[in-house]
């Protein structure tokens, strides 16, 4: 597949309050966000013209900035309007939406109290992170990099800096022929995939790790809500890797990954099954509903 570079496309990007031609959405190389990772972002999906759980994503963007010590200079309503405008400007109804906020170039040192906070929002077609064959189950390696202790990094923020080890883990997994990597945390507990949360089926119950050092994803909470609505038992608990021999199904859940079965994690094997397919199907139906209906059917 030919790669279309992200800086050389037709379309528009919302940038600091204005809709600018895609190729002109540039920033200076001496931006604090680039040098010191003072950036937070979101990953959203629009389905049939409506951005799924836009309120939750927008509130998380603002909260992520506050964790990094800055205030995104727009209201929730302004950011939501900008997300919708950028979809419309690009004539897209089904797309991935990427808001990103970062510290500018007024100061370039560890201390950057007086930098301007910028916000850009782009969108592009991205059918699914794992492509067409994903329902057969993806294959994950186990990463060497560990999710850090929450006193070591701002783990509750969707901060760009946290993705540094994600990219290292995913590149290694890909080099070994896997689709992605499962990350353990610093204690050796199962944490998450590099860009999605993880779930397992044990004895017909849905089990997932406690999100105390990684994102408590919007999709994760949505899937738990759907599962409970289906009378499934949902358990958040410490999961150690050696327990995975007993799990029958595994799947990941995230905005980009949606609900995707996992058939392999390192030495462990799973068979995509009824519980995963049921949750994937219900999630797929939910994302096409209007916000009020989503809130009523799957409160998070």
State the Cα–Cα distance between residues 40 and 159, nearest whole angstrom.
4
Choose among 147, 164, 143, 169: nearest CA to 156: 147
Neighbours of 21 (CB within 10 A): 11
**Is position 99 an interface residue for ligand PMP (rule: CB under 6 A)?**
no
Q: Which of residues 173-192 bind ligand PMP (CB under 6 A)?
A: 192
Whether residue 26 lies in the annotated active site:
no
Q: Where do we find the tokens 């849905």?
A: 206
**Is position 215 an interface residue for ligand PMP (rule: CB under 6 A)?**
yes
State the Cα–Cα distance between residues 243 and 261, nearest whole angstrom.
18
The three-state secondary structure class of 72 is: coil
DSSP 229: H
136, 146, 158, 281: which is the annotated catalytic residue? 158
> What are the structure tokens assigned to 18, written together?
């204005």
Out of 68, 181, 196, 239, point to the residue binding ligand PMP (CB under 6 A): 196
**Is position 155 an interface residue for ligand PMP (rule: CB under 6 A)?**
no
State the Cα–Cα distance between residues 195 and 203, nearest whole angstrom.
27
Nearer to ligand PMP, 59 or 264 (CB): 59
Q: Which of residues 25-64 bind ligand PMP (CB under 6 A)?
A: 43
**Is position 105 an interface residue for ligand PMP (rule: CB under 6 A)?**
no
Residue 39 beta carbon to ligand PMP: minimum distance, rounded to whole angstroms: 14
Out of 33, 99, 217, 272, point to the residue binding ligand PMP (CB under 6 A): 217
Nearer to ligand PMP, 196 or 247 (CB): 196
Enumerate the active-site residues. Answer: 158
């Amino acid at each position: 597949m030919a790669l279309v570079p992200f800086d050389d496309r037709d379309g528009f990007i919302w940038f600091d309050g204005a809709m600018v031609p895609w190729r002109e959405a540039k920033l200076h190389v001496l931006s604090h966000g680039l040098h010191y990772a003072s950036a937070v972002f979101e990953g959203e999906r629009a389905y049939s013209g409506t951005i799924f759980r836009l309120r939750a994503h927008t509130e998380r963007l603002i909260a992520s900035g506050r964790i990094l010590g800055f205030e995104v200079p727009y209201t929730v309503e302004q950011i939501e309007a900008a997300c919708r405008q950028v979809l419309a400007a690009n004539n897209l109804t089904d797309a991935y939406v990427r808001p990103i906020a970062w510290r500018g170039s007024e100061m370039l040192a560890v201390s950057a109290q007086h930098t301007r906070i910028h916000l850009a929002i782009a969108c592009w077609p991205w059918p699914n992170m794992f492509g067409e064959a994903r329902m057969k189950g993806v294959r994950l390696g186990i990463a060497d990099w560990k999710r850090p202790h929450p006193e070591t990094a701002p783990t509750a923020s969707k901060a760009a800096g946290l993705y540094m080890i994600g990219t290292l883990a995913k590149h290694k997994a890909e080099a070994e022929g896997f689709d992605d990597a499962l990350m353990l945390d610093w204690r050796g507990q199962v944490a998450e995939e590099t860009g999605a949360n993880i779930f397992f089926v044990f004895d017909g119950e849905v089990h997932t790790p406690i999100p105390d050092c990684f994102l408590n994803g919007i999709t994760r909470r949505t899937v738990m809500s759907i599962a409970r609505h289906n009378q499934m038992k949902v358990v958040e608990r410490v999961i150690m890797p050696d327990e995975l021999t007993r799990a029958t199904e595994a799947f990941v859940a995230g905005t980009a990954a949606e609900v995707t079965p996992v058939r392999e994690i390192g030495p462990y094997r799973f068979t995509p099954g009824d519980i995963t397919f049921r949750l994937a199907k219900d999630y797929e139906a939910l994302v096409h509903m209007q916000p009020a209906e989503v809130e009523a059917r799957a409160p998070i």
